[in-house]
Structure 1
């Protein structure tokens, strides 16, 4: 007997159909369920760290730019019930899965997922948002293996718009005084700062992310303000793992997350 390519999950508020190549993953502490491609692009720790860093305010209008599975939109909408979030994504399959996740989490009235190219932001949205969160592709074309038909490649490589295009798109979406919160490779910090400056976004906060104490920075979390004045706060480093390699008693993970990262996954932004 052949296996059906679909299976159905019953929840109190919805009747959700997942394809055989999709998985349902849960971030318990953050209170969201996420539909992802089993073998395609799957979100990592980066967007989770960014949602903790971005500091949204009540009743703000937020854009998740290049949303992928919409994990940031889901976390923010769950943590801040007064926020409205628009999630923009180019890839049709990602858009479809993101919309499934929105329904699954009962957030249809709070999150609007739209298929949009970051390089062609609709004029109706120009200057309309208080906060843009963005986890763009990290790698320029030509670095590593990259197939343009591969969902993972489009999400990880600058196939459909580079760093400057994402910063420009964010600047267009933001109202004066609005903020862009972005996560990117630490090694591209100089390029990122130049792009922010070129598009009228003053760097206001920076936080570097290291694997552990004594190791070079891997990521940078940055906040830019549209039309902001000079002056930047360099926040304390964020360490992903504890100093000594130790096994997590809950998950068996060999390199146990630092206490702060465990707090982030436990939903400190939701409770604080």
Structure 2
């Protein structure tokens, strides 16, 4: 069997692996780098949206981790991966071939705030997003534009993400999101106002005794079926890599030097 040809890396690029299905992504050494949030979101979307079939849309795809995991590790259908930043989109496009996902992941370049100019409305059965989560005026903005755009709401905010999801979804379609736990009331309110009715909520904790740092939510367009709150998802434990058994099962045991690049900030 012919070994795949490794990609040519730029001087500020790394090739990083994640998950149990050999997903590889291209990232800048000094730019925004994916966190464990992407893995948890992909698993949550695959689990809670398991009944859906048809094309999916990722809003703010970044390096493509969520899209690649959805099709390669969780065996879901095709994904349109929308990314705003041209340089990030270019790396995503290169990674499509690297992961042999040409027929499953379609990179799209564009601004989700102008979603109506990019895709027809009401055609996706599932929308996923790990959007910028820090309020634009919160804390010190990163001097790196790519990192600032990926982490802070300088180019889009939660209302924009919710509106784009509402527009893209078929009636009864689902949206899966991950956000900081402190924003749960805000995001659930935005979803409900848009008639994207929350059906599943799960909080993420660094350790059993620690407060929640993130939450995962799944909502349905125009279908109010009540809200189920799942048991807490605990990240760290005694399994390989220092993870809990549930999280360790989602990825190969990481090397010490790569573990730091995927762990979320939980403190």
Taking structure 1 as the reference length, the TM-score comes to 0.85
Matches of 2:3 and 2:94 in 1, distance apart? 15
Q: SS of the counterpart of 1:264?
A: coil
Q: Spell out, residue by residue over 1:22-76, the C-alpha distance to the aligned partner (whole angstroms, 9 max, x if none).
A: 1001125132111111110000000100111112447421111100101001111
Give the structure 2 partner of residue 95 of structure 1: 89
Query: For the Cα contact (< 8 Å) 2:70–2:76, is it kept in 1?
Result: no
What is residue 163 of structure 1 aligned with on the other side? 158
Across the aligned residues of Structure 1 and Structure 2, the Cα RMSD in angstroms comes to 2.0
Structure 2: how far apart are the matches of 1:204 and 1:228?
9
- TM-fit CA distance, 1:18: 2.0
Residues 81 and 214 from structure 1, CA distance in 2 versus in 1: closer, same or farther, beyond 3 angstroms? closer
TM-score by length of 2: 0.87
Q: Is 1:184 matched up with 2:179?
A: yes
Cα distance in 1 for partners of 2:214, 2:149 equals 20
Q: Which residue of 2 aligns with 1:219?
A: 214
**Distance (whole Å) between structure 1 residues aligned to residue 244 and residue 75 of structure 2:** 28
Higher-Rg member (1/2): 1
1:215-251 per-residue CA deviation (whole Å, 9 max, x = no partner) reads 1111000001000124111000000112xxx6x7x65
Secondary structure of the 1:107 match is coil
- Tell me the equivalent position of 1:112: 106
For residues 45 and 139 of structure 2, what CA distance do their matches in structure 1 show?
A: 30
1:139 to 125, 131, 134: 134
Cα distance in 1, alignment partners of residues 137 and 212 from structure 2: 23
Change in Cα spacing, 1:221 to 1:81, as seen in structure 2 (3 Å) is: closer
Deviation at 1:213, TM superposition (A): 1.2
Q: Distance in 2 between matches of 1:99 and 1:120?
A: 21
List gaps (5 residues or longer) in structure 1: 1-10, 268-272
Count of aligned positions: 248
